[in-house]
């Protein structure tokens, strides 16, 4: 079953993340806003990975002392998707 989640980001340059998860595997990720190269890199790296693994790797990553980051926000979005 495919599930699509839209997550409104808080505390990051990215404003929104849309994640498509199918049977626990990330099929697609789209960031709205944020650092273009970094978000494209994240999208490319996580596509095809298990959502649980991405959550474990990205949860709690901090950007410039903000207490969150684009990868952390992705982990939050994936947690909602699961």
Read out DSSP for 9-68? -SSSSEEEEEEEEETTEEEEEEEEES-HHHHHHHHHHHTTSBHHHHHHHHTT--STTSS-
pLDDT mean for each 10 residues of the chain (82 residues)? 95 96 97 95 97 98 96 96 86
Judge whether 29 and 17 are in contact, CB under 8 Å. Answer: yes
């Amino acid at each position: 079953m495919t599930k699509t989640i839209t997550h409104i980001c808080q505390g990051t340059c990215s404003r929104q993340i849309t994640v498509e998860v199918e049977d626990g595997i990330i099929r697609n990720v789209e960031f709205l806003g944020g650092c273009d190269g970094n978000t494209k890199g994240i999208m490319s790296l996580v596509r095809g990975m298990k959502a649980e693994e991405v959550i474990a790797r990205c949860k709690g990553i901090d950007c410039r002392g903000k207490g969150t980051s684009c990868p952390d926000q992705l982990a939050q979005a994936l947690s909602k998707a699961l």
